[in-house]
Amino acid sequence: MTAPGYDAIVVGARCAGSPLGMLLARRGYRVLVVDRATFPSDTVSTHVVHPQGIAALARWGLRDRLVATGCPPIHTYAFDFGPLVIEGSPGTPDSPVAYCPRRTVLDKLLVDGAAEAGAEVREGFSVDEIIREDGRVTGIRGRGRDGRTVTETARVVIGADGRHSLVARAILPEEYNQKPQLVAAYYAYWSGLPMNGRFETTIRDDRGFAAAETHDGLTLLVGGWPYARFEERKGDVERHYLGLFADTPMQARLAGARRESKIFGAVSPNFFRKPYGPGWALVGDAGYTKDPITAQGISDAFRDAELLAAALDDGWSGRRDPAAALAGYQEARDLVLPMYEFTAQVASMQPPPPEMQQLLGAVHGNRDAMDMFVRVNAGVTSPADFFAPDNVGRIFASAAGRAAV
């Protein structure tokens, strides 16, 4: 058999693919990254990069590049539940802030990082076929911008091409932990809506929305309603999108603001896919997708790119059995399950049960507890830790102590 042309071919060059290509190239591997888009290029996105994602950019030497683009930092997350508002700091001392960059900026930064690391990046490349021999994926066949059909081979072909992944459709990996579509989400960009370093989320019965500043003096305003109402509302999205803000503080603020874009929308499934097999792997949304209501997608993609790069390197270098290394990647990735379940609970848009209302009331006014609650939503603290009985007990004890003073 002819030796493969690359160690890895990465299909998809956005928030999972380019970091993975960069990390493998920095380890000395021959990497080809392909994407049908040309960059800078936009895509539907919740934009927010939580502090853990910013920490990854710092490890890669790319955080300062993002800061230099003028994207405003976010130092406070606030959650308006109607009767009370819980706000706190989302990060850690090493990575205290989040950012909400336009994807035209962030993705270009990541693509450039991959190319500078030594990965070959082909933009405007459409993959037509995943090639297999004797049950193993061996390469891709596709067309570049010149229209010529080319075939490229690799030790592994990695799908980093989103939840509608061509690689996943060709492989048909096992899916598990599936959940139905939960929220119909829509967003637009607004001027004249300063957030002053805050990422604000408002929760009401059967609706919710969030706002954060992005590039060029614009604010991303994203919101949605239960998927059960998708069919009845899809014919007049603008009216229903604007109706999200009725009878909330945001309604008055929008009187002095201006919408600067059309309304973008998406409906997301919820699933895990087995992320590896003979000659193939999946990363980012191609391998694991959840509702965007907690805005975890970009940070998760960064984390999983690091996990998969390390697993491939362990296997190729001989430090571990390759199959065992990839099984370890799946196991480490799936530690996100508590956040997945928490996200689904939030996306149900049901009123909090009485015990949750009591807990939120006890959290309110307790600086440490509010910070911890915010960090759950930022993906910094696991919901399993926050909702652990001993932690909940401390929160209620502190609230009782404050009430007694």
List the structure tokens of 84.
């009370």
99 in helix, strand or coil?
strand
For residues 175 and 317, membership in a common domain is answered with: yes
Residue 123 lies in a domain: yes
Q: pLDDT tens for residues 10-20?
A: 999 999 999 99
Q: Which pLDDT score, from 0 to 100, does residue 318 have?
A: 97
pTM of the model: 0.96
Domain boundary among 213, 241, 267: 267
Residue 395 lies in a domain: yes
For residues 146 and 276, membership in a common domain is answered with: yes
Q: Domain containing 255 — which CATH number?
A: 3.30.9.100
Q: Which pLDDT score, from 0 to 100, does residue 12 have?
A: 98
For residues 322 and 378, membership in a common domain is answered with: no
Q: Which pLDDT score, from 0 to 100, does residue 1 have?
A: 53
For residues 161 and 12, membership in a common domain is answered with: yes
Domain that holds residue 359: 352-404
For residues 116 and 136, membership in a common domain is answered with: yes
Residue 62 lies in a domain: no
Q: Which pLDDT score, from 0 to 100, does residue 405 have?
A: 66
For residues 263 and 136, membership in a common domain is answered with: no
| Contacts with 292 (C-beta within 8 Å, 6 or more apart), sequence order | 46, 183, 185, 266, 268
Ranges in the chain, pLDDT < 50: none
Q: pLDDT tens for residues 230-247?
A: 999 999 999 999 999 999
Distance CA 359, CA 191 (A): 36
Residue 317 lies in a domain: yes
Residue 261 lies in a domain: yes
Q: How many domains does the chain have?
A: 3
| Bond from prior residue into 51 cis (ω within 30 degrees of 0) | no
Distance CA 229, CA 359 (A): 30
156: closest CA among 139, 171, 173? 139
Residue 11 lies in a domain: yes
Domain boundary among 340, 364, 380: 340
Residue 156 lies in a domain: yes
Q: Which pLDDT score, from 0 to 100, does residue 266 have?
A: 84
For residues 263 and 276, membership in a common domain is answered with: no
Q: Domain containing 276 — which CATH number?
A: 3.50.50.60
Q: Which pLDDT score, from 0 to 100, does residue 353 have?
A: 85
Domain boundary among 295, 314, 340: 340
For residues 237 and 293, membership in a common domain is answered with: no
259: closest CA among 185, 187, 184? 187
For residues 192 and 253, membership in a common domain is answered with: yes
Residue ranges in 5-84 assigned as alpha helix (H): 17-26, 51-59, 63-68
* One-character DSSP codes across 342-369: HHHHHHT-PPPPHHHHHHHHHHTT-HHH
For residues 331 and 368, membership in a common domain is answered with: no
For residues 329 and 280, membership in a common domain is answered with: yes
Residue 380 lies in a domain: yes
For residues 112 and 171, membership in a common domain is answered with: yes
